[in-house]
Amino acid sequence: MKVVIVGGGAGGLELATYLGDKLGKKPDHEIVLIDRNSTHLWKPLLHEVAAGSLDAEIDSVSFRAHAHAHHFQFKMGCFSGVDRNKKVIHLAPVLDPEGEEILPQRDEPYDHLVMAIGSSSNDFGVPGVREHCKFLDSTQQAVKFHDRLVNQFIRLNRKLIDDPSACLHVAIVGGGATGVELTAELFNSRNLFSMYGLHRIKDKNLKVTLLEAGPRLVPALSEKVSAAVLKDLSALGADICLNTQVAKAEPHVFITADESRIEADMLLWAAGIKVPDFMAEIEGIETNRINQVIVNKHLQSTNDEYIYAIGDCAGFPLDEKRWVPPRAQSAHQMALLVGKNLVRITKEKPLVEFHYSDKGSLISLSEFSTVGVLMGNLVRGDTFNVRGKIARIAYISLYRMHQIALHGWIRATLMMVSDKINHILKPRLKLH
């Protein structure tokens, strides 16, 4: 049996690791992971990379090295289509930054195909967003944002010699987890840049405007948690604009529906999600309005039992109005279920059904605070609002659980120790 997994995000890499460990050593089984990049970084950490709190080069996982350690194959490639009748996927040519071909266009056969391509920010067709805004959908985008942020702070520190009122203004659209967490990280970066030599930068020299189209921040969480996030961000100095719809983006300015202009040095878009359009173009595959593959109780596509979808690109309805939310915990649970079912197929056992278990959600406001909801439906449907040290420990544990899924308890523990050592030896901010 040959299993091809497209996408090396949280769900895809965890699934490849699980199947590699379970089936990879057996001669009659082949596990292949395909991704356009050569390394993996847990997507919920991208806002820390953008702000400089995390070094992507240190915390990334090499696909090739990980594949060797866990008995699966990694192939670099960019999905461009699938022939369901022949059971092959099409891969576009891989080019280097100079446009030279690294790998040609080619096909990859499969017995079972798992789509784990994730999602990207949804611009909702707002004019100018793609041309003038930054995004945080990939490690490369986060690194580019950080590089520009470093240059902006250096430029600001110099400008303050002649103009003490000068200010770096960052405008962010989207009051979900990414927008909120990046806002907090930017204020932490301001403090650390000041500590690491840019001494002229003070609290008043950074302005962050967070725009949300809805009536509250992090709408997926309770009103109590949303209120706590609003209070904490406001205390840091963030300018929060609720019920504010962006109608257009121009160079260094957002124009709202009421024609207000919000000018900024850096524009970032972090509103909504959408699966790439090519997913909806696969003939015979049912998708929803944001291009998620609609899956059945076994996470198979509704029209093809040999094609699965997990993570953000999977549309699993919870009821008539709600879908499984696009979170890392969803990808983890889906990857584990599909992994177990594919192993069960090799043993000719019946498939088990997917049941989403909401473990809660946490929002990290950098070094300042952590708030959220724990337990979800684990205890009679009760939820528990948490904040402070307990919430921070729980937030960090989410990443540790991902590391354990990839590396096992021993290696994950060693990585945790290594992180503690690096926290002592290395600067608290990536300065280049």
Report whether 107 contacts 128 (CB < 8 A).
Answer: no
**Tokens 């120790």 identify what position?**
417
Distance separating alpha carbons of residues 325 and 119, to the nearest angstrom:
12
- pLDDT attached to residue 432: 76
| DSSP H or E stretch at residue 405 | helix 389-425
Token code pair at residue 231? 């209070």
pTM, entire model: 0.93
The list of the chain residues with pLDDT below 50 reads 377-381
Residue-wise pLDDT tens digits, 59-87: 899 999 999 999 999 999 999 999 999 99
In 234-312, DSSP assigns E strands to 239-241, 246-250, 253-256, 261-263, 266-269, 273-274, 293-294, 300-301, 304-309
pLDDT digit string, tens, across residues 123-141: 999 999 999 999 999 999 9
DSSP 8-state symbol, 318: S
The pLDDT value given to residue 283 = 87
Residue 359, pLDDT score? 82
C-alpha triplet 410, 413, 419: angle, nearest 5°: 145
* Cα-based distances in Å from 147 to 43, 154, 167: 19, 11, 18
Neighbours of 224 (CB within 10 A): 12
pLDDT for position 384: 64
Token reading at 1: 């049996």
Q: What is the pLDDT of residues 267-297, one digit of tens each?
A: 999 999 999 999 998 888 999 999 999 999 9
Task: Tell me whether strands 314-315 and 369-374 are parallel, antiparallel or unpaired.
Answer: unpaired
Q: Helices in 108-168 by DSSP H: which ranges?
A: 129-132, 139-159
CA distance between the termini of the chain: 46
pLDDT at position 375, please? Answer: 58
Q: What is the dihedral of CA 153, 265, 242, 364, to 10 degrees?
A: -30
Write the CB contacts of 183 (distance below 8 Å, at least 6 apart in sequence): 172, 208, 210, 233, 236, 238
**Which domains does the chain show, CATH number per domain?**
2-119+275-346 (3.50.50.60), 129-269 (3.50.50.60), 360-425 (no CATH)
